């Protein structure tokens, strides 16, 4: 049977800064599933990245009618679940004989909610490479019992049946690298100003995060950390350079430096092979040191993102962040000393946060003075401790399908304490103006420019940022 894996049509709300400045990276989850399917049944799988291509629902309909796949797998986040279900409805109308399978973070959290829609035939929970491949094989051959497939949710005689959880892929080294040959690689681009060279793409070299931040969803990768080997990371990077002329990679791991020695070995391999490559990553402030940062810089690292989240010790304790302001200050100082750009992310509006706590976070951001910052409003993602707390305390300003499209970090979804939702949103907007329009910051950016290319990249970031600001007034 012909299989199509779909990243559904979707558009960021203008309220989100990412609508103007955000990256478009390849859907590596779908590419990983395609790689496993290709190993089993070569030549039967295609990927339609409707979001990346900027397709609307009608163009999406045209594409599926032209291709006529028999099995359609659609991925969905909480933010995109409404559009994913609409895409599934279009599939059902246009290709009534096809099989629709949904997966991704939101269906894994709320399988009953999603499978209740008649346009969805099956649902795969959790890491889906092997479960989806097993489902495709059984549907194609009509042999074997579907009950043998872990992680499957389906309807049987009108009742919802959940198969046992699939667990997590225990050995990432056994998975083939994502099959990017089925993706429109030329369309992908980095965030405005947050790169050095193009073409840029993303890679994932580990899965899972052992930390317990209350706002973080672990619906897919969980807490058990699993790694690809440094040699595998090198091989995939070299393949990207050779096949797609990639010059920069964003390592999208939750904590790229979690295993310090593994990170160091990756850097040493990059240096030994003299890769023509720059790269960026994200990690925690307590997972770097001077020696490691120096090695990362020599191996091509140009930017590191740190999830700092709050400047309030009280809030940091409540959200179980597990890092201190002093650790964040040292990490950013060491990163700057190593010649690597620092990016800090912060969140406003956790339950119980007051104006005093908000001001503490903004002051901390200004004091740490990272090269770039992203401010978000707290997102109560279903399945997280943050969501449960906000719901139990009656603090959610929206829930269910009213809330899902608003979970982009630019909308007030949790009732603040001592101020109105409108005042919290105004504070969020003011934080951006305060940070980026400081004379000290502007001088710092100008001083950092080393070439006309640096000027061009920074100008693009400034232009897109102000386009976003104008659109939200």
CATH assignment of the domain containing 92: 3.40.50.280
Q: What is the pLDDT of residues 132-179, one digit of tens each?
A: 999 999 998 876 688 889 999 999 998 999 999 988 998 999 999 999
Other C-beta atoms lying within 10 Å of the C-beta of residue 99: 19
User: What's the whole-number mean pLDDT along residues 258-281?
Assistant: 97
So what's the pLDDT on residue 440? 84
User: What's the whole-number mean pLDDT along residues 343-366?
Assistant: 96
Going from the C-alpha of 447 to that of each of 104, 234, 439, 456, the distances in angstroms are 43, 34, 12, 14
So what's the pLDDT on residue 191? 73
So what's the pLDDT on residue 47? 98
Looking at the domain assignment, is residue 241 inside a domain? yes
pLDDT range class, residue 457, cuts 50, 70, 90? low
pLDDT range class, residue 11, cuts 50, 70, 90? confident
Q: Domain boundary at 162, 197, 222, which?
A: 162
pLDDT range class, residue 307, cuts 50, 70, 90? very high
**Percent above pLDDT 90 for the chain:** 79
So what's the pLDDT on residue 148? 84
Q: Domain boundary at 162, 177, 197, which?
A: 162
Q: What is the pLDDT of residues 109-121, one digit of tens each?
A: 999 999 999 999 9
Looking at the domain assignment, is residue 149 inside a domain? yes
pLDDT higher at 23 or 6: 6
So what's the pLDDT on residue 460? 61
So what's the pLDDT on residue 444? 79
* Residue 153 and residue 197 share a domain: no
User: What's the whole-number mean pLDDT along residues 70-97?
Assistant: 97
Looking at the domain assignment, is residue 250 inside a domain? yes
pTM confidence score: 0.92
Q: What is the pLDDT of residues 375-428, one digit of tens each?
A: 999 999 999 999 999 999 999 999 999 999 999 988 999 999 999 999 999 999
* Residue 268 and residue 132 share a domain: no
* Residue 43 and residue 80 share a domain: yes
* Residue 286 and residue 155 share a domain: no
Residue 472 above 80 pLDDT? no
* Residue 428 and residue 285 share a domain: yes
pLDDT higher at 56 or 199: 56
User: What's the whole-number mean pLDDT along residues 301-312?
Assistant: 96
Looking at the domain assignment, is residue 272 inside a domain? yes
So what's the pLDDT on residue 43? 84
Q: What is the pLDDT of residues 124-138, one digit of tens each?
A: 999 999 999 999 999
So what's the pLDDT on residue 470? 55
* Residue 231 and residue 94 share a domain: no
Tell me the C-alpha distance between 282 and 235, whole Å: 21
* Residue 155 and residue 203 share a domain: no
So what's the pLDDT on residue 286? 97
* Residue 332 and residue 269 share a domain: yes
So what's the pLDDT on residue 193? 62
* Tokens of residue 259, six digits: 């295993």
Residue 446 above 60 pLDDT? yes
* Residue 122 and residue 222 share a domain: no
* Residue 194 and residue 145 share a domain: no
State the total domains in the chain: 2
Looking at the domain assignment, is residue 175 inside a domain? no
* Residue 71 and residue 196 share a domain: no
Looking at the domain assignment, is residue 167 inside a domain? no
Looking at the domain assignment, is residue 273 inside a domain? yes
Average predicted confidence (pLDDT) for the chain: 91
Looking at the domain assignment, is residue 115 inside a domain? yes
* Residue 466 and residue 321 share a domain: yes
Instruction: Return the CATH number at 361.
Output: 3.80.30.20
So what's the pLDDT on residue 471? 53
- The answer to whether residues 128 and 113 touch, using CB atoms and an 8 Å cutoff, is no
- The answer to whether residues 12 and 184 touch, using CB atoms and an 8 Å cutoff, is no
So what's the pLDDT on residue 207? 96
Structural domain containing residue 94 = 3-162
- Cα angle, residue 19 at apex, residues 278 and 46 outer, rounded to 5°: 70
Nearest to 18 by CA among 328, 316, 374: 374
């Amino acid at each position: 049977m012909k299989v199509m894996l779909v990243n559904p049509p979707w558009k960021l709300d203008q309220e989100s800064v990412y609508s103007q400045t955000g990256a478009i990276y390849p859907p590596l989850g779908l590419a990983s599933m395609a790689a496993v399917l290709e190993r089993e049944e070569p030549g039967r799988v295609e990927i339609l990245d409707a979001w990346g291509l900027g397709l609307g629902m009608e163009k999406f309909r045209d594409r599926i009618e032209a291709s006529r796949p028999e099995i359609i797998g659609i991925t969905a986040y909480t933010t995109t679940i409404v559009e994913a279900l609409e895409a599934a409805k279009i599939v059902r109308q246009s290709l009534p004989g096809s099989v629709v399978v949904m997966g991704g973070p939101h269906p894994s959290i709320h399988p009953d909610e999603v499978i209740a829609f008649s346009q969805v035939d099956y649902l795969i929970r959790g890491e889906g490479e092997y479960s989806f491949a097993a489902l495709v094989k059984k549907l194609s051959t009509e042999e074997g019992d579907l009950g043998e497939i872990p992680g499957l949710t389906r309807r049987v005689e009108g009742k919802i049946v959940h198969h046992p959880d699939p667990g997590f892929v225990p050995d990432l080294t056994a998975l083939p690298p994502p099959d990017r040959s089925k993706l429109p690689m030329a369309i992908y681009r980095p965030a405005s100003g947050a790169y050095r060279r193009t073409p840029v793409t993303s890679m994932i070299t580990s899965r899972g995060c052992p930390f317990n931040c209350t706002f973080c969803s672990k619906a897919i990768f969980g807490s058990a950390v699993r790694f690809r080997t440094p040699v595998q990371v090198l091989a995939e990077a070299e393949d990207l350079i050779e096949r797609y002329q990639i010059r920069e990679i964003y390592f999208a791991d939750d904590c790229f430096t979690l295993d310090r020695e593994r990170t160091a070995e990756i850097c040493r391999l990059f240096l030994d092979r003299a890769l023509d490559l720059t790269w960026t990553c994200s990690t925690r402030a307590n997972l770097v040191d001077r020696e490691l940062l120096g090695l990362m810089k020599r191996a091509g690292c140009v930017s590191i993102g740190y999830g700092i989240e709050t400047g309030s010790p009280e809030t940091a304790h409540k959200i179980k962040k597990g890092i201190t302001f002093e650790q964040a200050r040292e990490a950013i100082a060491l990163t700057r000393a190593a010649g690597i750009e620092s990016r800090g992310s912060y969140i406003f509006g956790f339950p119980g946060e007051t104006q005093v706590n908000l001001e503490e976070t903004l002051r901390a951001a200004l004091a740490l003075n990272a090269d770039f910052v992203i401010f978000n409003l707290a997102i109560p993602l279903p399945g997280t401790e943050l969501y449960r707390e906000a719901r139990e305390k009656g603090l959610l300003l929206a829930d269910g399908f009213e809330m899902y499209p608003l979970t982009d970090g630019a909308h007030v979804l949790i009732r603040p304490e001592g101020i109105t939702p409108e005042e919290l949103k105004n504070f969020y907007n003011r934080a951006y103006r305060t940070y980026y329009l400081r004379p000290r910051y502007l001088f710092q950016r100008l001083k950092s420019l080393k070439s006309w290319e640096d000027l061009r990249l920074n100008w693009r970031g400034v232009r897109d940022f102000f386009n976003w600001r104008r659109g939200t007034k």
